[in-house]
Amino acid sequence: MLLLLSHFSPKPPLSRSSTSLTCSSSFSLCLRRLKFPFCPFSLFKSPSTPPSLACHVSSSCSSAGGVHMDSTSASVDSVTRDLKDQSLGSDGPDETRSSNVANSRLQDLNWDHSFVRELPGDPRTDSIPREVLHACYTKVSPSVEVENPQLVAWSESVAQFLDLDPKEFERPDFPLLFSGASPLVGSVPYAQCYGGHQFGMWAGQLGDGRAITLGEILNSKSERWELQLKGAGKTPYSRFADGLAVLRSSIREFLCSEAMHFLGIPTTRALCLVTTGKYVTRDMFYDGNPKEEPGAIVCRVAPSFLRFGSYQIHASRGNEDLGIIRTLADYAIKDHFPRIENMSKSESLSFSTGNEDHSVVDLTSNKYAAWVVEIAERTASLVAGWQGVGFTHGVLNTDNMSVLGLTIDYGPFGFLDAFDPSFTPNTTDLPGRRYCFANQPDIGLWNIAQFASTLSAAQLIDDKESNYAMERYGTKFMDEYQAIMTKKLGLPKYNKQLISKLLNNMAVDKVDYTNFFRLLSNVKADPNIPEDEFLVPLKAVLLDIGKERKEAWINWVQSYIQELSSSDVSDEERKASMDSVNPKYVLRNYLCQSAIDAAEQGDFGEVRRLLKLMERPYDEQPGMEKYARLPPAWAYRPGVCMLSCSS
C-alpha cells in the first residue's frame, strides 16, 4: 500500500537568516526535538512531544483562604484559557449583543489612538519610500484616487460588534469614507513598520505598504477594534509598489475573512468592500503581461494588526532599537493580554520542561515568558484549526503571523478540494512547497522560534523560556488537532491508526476533503450492514475507484463502524455532532472566481450571496447545494486553483 508520506514533496529546509535574528543553538535543538516529521498534522510519530507537564500552583493570598495545589495532571492550558478569554471579544461563530446598546453613527464612533499615543513614531509624515528607523509607525493619510466609488458588500456582523448602525451603509458618502477619499471624523491614520522572514529568508523592512490604519474604536464593551483600509495608497513602506489593491484580491480577502470567522477559526474581520472606480495595473502571473484591473479597498478589522515582524524589525537593527521591543511588548500585553499584565507575583506558576535537566519555568516571575507561551499556544490552536477545515494560508511569512493568534493577510489562500497534503495555492511557493498544507504545523513552530529569538535578543526571555514556549506549541498542536479529528469522525476516542489510514486512502484517491467528512456522518454504527452497502453513504465522493481501491475503502469503513459501535451515542446524535464541525460549505477558490468575474462586470450580487452562504457553513441551506459541488473543469486554470501574490 502506498504510504501517505510518499505523496509529499520533500520538505525544504527551514532555513535561518544570516542576520542578527538567527536562533541560538538551544533553539535549534528544540526545533529538532519538536520537528513534525509527518505532515498533515498530528498523525506523525512524536518522540519529541514533551511528557506531561508537572504544574505546581500555590497562592499565599487567595480568596479561598490560601489554597495549595500540587498536581502532575494539571497543565498550563487552564491558565492560557483564561488569558484567551480577555482579548478577542466576539471571535466565535455566535455573536450576541445587548439590545440596550445604542448603535452609533460614523461621526459618533468612540475613537482611541493608543498605538500612536504610546509608541514611538516616525517624525516624517510623507509617503516617500524609505527606511524608517526607531519607529513603530508613520502617520500617513490615504491617497488613493477614486471616481464614483461603490459599496460592493458589507458585514452586518462586524458592524454589530463595532456598535455601528447598519443604516450607515446606506449613506451616500459611505464609499467615499471607506475608500479613504474623505477622512473619517476622529481618525488618525498611520502605517505600521515591520519586517519579516519571507520564505525562510530575512527580508528586512516591509511594513504596511498599502494598508493604512484609521485608528482604534472602543465599543460599548470596551473592546478595542482597529480599522484598516487595504489598498488606500502609498506609504513609506510601499517600496516600488503603488499602494493599491485590485477588486479580484479584495473580494477574496473580504469573503474569506468572514468565512473563516463563521467556521470558528480566529481571524481578522472585514467591515466592507468598495470599488475605487479607477483601474490598477497588475502582472498577475509575473510573466511580463500586465493588464488593467478594477481597483478596490477592503476595510479590515481586528483588535490589533501586530505581527511577529513588528518586533523582528527592531531586533534586526541592533542594540539601539532593542528597547523598542520591550516597549512594544508592554503595549501589547497591557492592551491585549491584560490577564498577563495583572498576574499576581504572589502566585507561583512553575512548569517543568521536557529537558533532561528537568528545568523549571516560572511564568509569573516573567510576564514576557507567559506572553510568548500564550502566543505559541494561540498559534498552535490556529494552525490546528486550519488543518481541521482544510485551509492552506499560502504565505506563512513571519510578517503574516499575528501575535493574537489570528489568521491574517489573505493572499493566495486555498481550501483543499481533492485531498493532497502537498497542495499549495501559491504559485510562488511551487518550487519547494514550503507553505503547503502539510507543512503548516512545522512552519508555525519555525515562526514561533523566530519570534522567541527576537524577545531573547531584547533580553526579555531566556533560552529556557524560549524552548518551553516551543514545547508548548508542540503539545498544544497535538492536543488540539487530535481533538478536532476525533470530533470530525465522531469517534468516542482518538484512534491514530484509523485516522492515518483514512488520510492515506483520501490522498491515494484524491477524495474531496470537505464533502467526504460531511457525508461521513451518514454512516450508521451498525455492524450488521451488508458489506456491499458499506460505501453507499460515501458514493458521491468515492468516484472512479477500481476494485482494489474499493476493497481498501470497504476495509476502512468496516473498521470505522466497529469503532463507532463501541460508543452508546445514537446515529442521530453523532450525525448532529459531526455536522456541527464538518462544514457543508467552504470558500472554494472557484466560488470566489465566479463572484469576481461577475463583480468585474458590475454585478455584486454573487459576492453578497456568497457572504450570506458562508455565514452558515454548517447548515444544509436547502436550495444552495450547488455551492458544495466539486470544482468544474475551468476551475483548474491558472489564476483560479492557484494564485500569485500579485494583488
Query: Which residues, including other chains, have CB under 8 Å from residue 32's CB and lie 6 or more apart?
Result: 48
The CA–CA distances, whole Å, from 267 to 231, 407, 449, 645 equal 19, 4, 22, 20
Whether the CB-CB separation of 232 and 180 falls below 8 Å is answered with: yes
Residue 57 bridge partners (DSSP): 69, 349
Whether the CB-CB separation of 457 and 463 falls below 8 Å is answered with: no
The CA–CA distances, whole Å, from 112 to 119, 183, 330, 509 equal 14, 16, 18, 54
Whether the CB-CB separation of 314 and 328 falls below 8 Å is answered with: yes
Query: Which residues, including other chains, have CB under 8 Å from residue 629's CB and lie 6 or more apart?
Result: none
Instruction: Write the single-letter amino acid at 597.
Output: D
Q: How many CB atoms lie within 10 A of CB 544?
A: 7
The length of the chain, given as a count of residues: 647
- Residue 307: phi and psi, rounded to 5, are -125, 170
The CA–CA distances, whole Å, from 502 to 59, 327, 495, 505, 506 equal 47, 48, 11, 5, 6
What the block records as the C-alpha cell of 274 is 468598495
Query: Which residues, including other chains, have CB under 8 Å from residue 424's CB and lie 6 or more apart?
Result: 392, 394, 414, 430, 433, 435, 436, 437, 642
User: What is the C-alpha separation between 14 and 314, in angstroms, rounded?
Assistant: 22
User: What is the C-alpha separation between 455 and 622, in angstroms, rounded?
Assistant: 51
3-state secondary structure of 138: strand
C-alpha torsion sign, points 610, 613, 617, 622: negative
Chain centroid offset of residue 575 CA: 28
User: What is the C-alpha separation between 601 and 330, in angstroms, rounded?
Assistant: 48
Q: How many CB atoms lie within 10 A of CB 340?
A: 25
Q: Which residue has the cell 482518538?
A: 494
Helices 463-489 + 571-579 axis angle, to 10? 130
Q: Which of 122, 163, 208, 399 is catalytic?
A: 399
- Residue 564: phi and psi, rounded to 5, are -65, -35
Whether the CB-CB separation of 621 and 584 falls below 8 Å is answered with: yes
H or E element in which residue 187 lies: none
Q: Running DSSP on this structure, what letter comes out for residue 54? A: P
Whether the CB-CB separation of 378 and 385 falls below 8 Å is answered with: no
| Residue 399 designated active-site | yes
**Strand pairing report for 150-154 and 195-198:** unpaired
Whether the CB-CB separation of 617 and 583 falls below 8 Å is answered with: yes
Residues noted as catalytic: 399
